[in-house]
């Protein structure tokens, strides 16, 4: 049975809102169609390990982890939500998540870029957006990243597109030395719009990507 959301909107954590992940292959050509920066996401490694985890978990220890030992500047890109999700349209206006960066210092891992994709309900047309531009390492600890969709994204979600995947570029860029470190994502939440007066929004079940066009999506 679907869950009735509050009419006031705001952030809500939904279990299995994004399921599955992949590591993009080294050398992948990932150029945003729009967003803060359209410079290429440039993965040069695809071997940083970790675990799959649940990005919607409220505790960092259960979230997806990326870890590695690095003595050089490297970049890796991971996509989250590759197999299933809730596939919301314009009832969402953004998202938020936390990242637990284990260490600071040269060559430690951190979140370098944040992107996302929207996908057509009835075809495989995908648009890739960059959300924050190119970021720098800002010290260890838990960080909260908040993304509000731009007008380009919202116009897609108001038509036949759904939120598809979260795309993260991790990096060890900056400093010197050789260190083992990790970054762990968790507490992913969608930001919901306020429901029309006198109405409530209904949350559909998480489902496989090939079932994203079924009509019991959010209403």
The answer for residues whose C-beta is within 8 angstroms of residue 97's C-beta and 6 or more apart is 55, 144, 145, 166, 185, 186, 187, 188, 189
> What's the whole-number mean pLDDT along residues 52-61?
92
For 1-5, 64-68, 146-150, 183-187, which range has the lowest pLDDT when averaged over its residues? 1-5
* All domains in the chain, ordered by first residue: 22-192 (2.60.120)
Q: How far apart are CA 188 and CA 58, in angstroms?
A: 8
**Contact call for residues 56 and 95 (beta carbons, < 8 A):** no
Calculate the average pLDDT of the chain: 90
Q: Tell me the three state secondary structure of residue 152.
A: helix
pLDDT band at 127 (very low <50, low <70, confident <90, very high): very high
Q: How far apart are CA 13 and CA 111, in angstroms?
A: 21
pLDDT of residue 6: 63
pLDDT of residue 203: 74
Pick the closest to residue 76 from 28, 101, 52, 44 (CA basis): 44
> Per-residue pLDDT tens for 7-34?
678 999 998 999 999 999 999 999 999 9
> Per-residue pLDDT tens for 174-219?
878 888 999 999 999 999 988 777 777 777 778 998 888 775 544 4
* pLDDT more than 90, % of the chain: 71
> What's the whole-number mean pLDDT along residues 73-87?
95
User: Measured in Å, how far apart are the chain's first and last C-alpha atoms?
Assistant: 14
pLDDT of residue 63: 96
> What's the whole-number mean pLDDT along residues 157-186?
93
Token couple for 90: 């314009």
Q: How far apart are CA 61 and CA 2, in angstroms?
A: 28
Q: Tell me the three state secondary structure of residue 53.
A: coil
Count Cβ atoms below 10 Å from residue 127 Cβ, excluding itself: 18
> Per-residue pLDDT tens for 42-51?
999 999 987 7
pLDDT of residue 219: 44
């Amino acid at each position: 049975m679907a869950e009735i959301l509050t009419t006031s909107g705001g952030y809500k954590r939904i279990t299995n809102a994004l399921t599955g992940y992949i590591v993009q292959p080294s050398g992948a050509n990932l150029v945003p169609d729009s967003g803060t920066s359209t410079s290429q996401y440039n993965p040069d490694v695809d071997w940083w390990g970790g675990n799959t985890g649940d990005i919607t978990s409220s505790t960092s220890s259960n979230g997806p982890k990326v870890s590695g030992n690095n003595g050089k500047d490297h970049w890796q890109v991971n996509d989250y939500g590759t197999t299933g999700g809730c596939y919301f349209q314009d009832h969402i206006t953004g998202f938020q998540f936390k990242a637990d960066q284990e260490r600071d210092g040269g060559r430690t891992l951190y979140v370098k870029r944040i992107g996302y994709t929207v996908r057509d309900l009835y075809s495989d047309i995908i648009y890739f957006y960059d959300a924050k531009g190119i970021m720098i390492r800002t010290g260890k600890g838990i960080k909260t990243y908040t993304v509000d969709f731009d007008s380009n994204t919202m116009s897609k979600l108001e038509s036949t597109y759904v939120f598809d995947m979260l795309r993260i570029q991790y990096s060890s860029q900056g400093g010197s030395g050789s260190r083992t470190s990790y970054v762990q994502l968790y507490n992913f939440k969608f930001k919901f719009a306020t429901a029309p007066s006198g109405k409530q929004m209904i949350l559909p079940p998480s489902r496989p990507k090939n079932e994203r066009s079924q009509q019991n999506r959010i209403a």
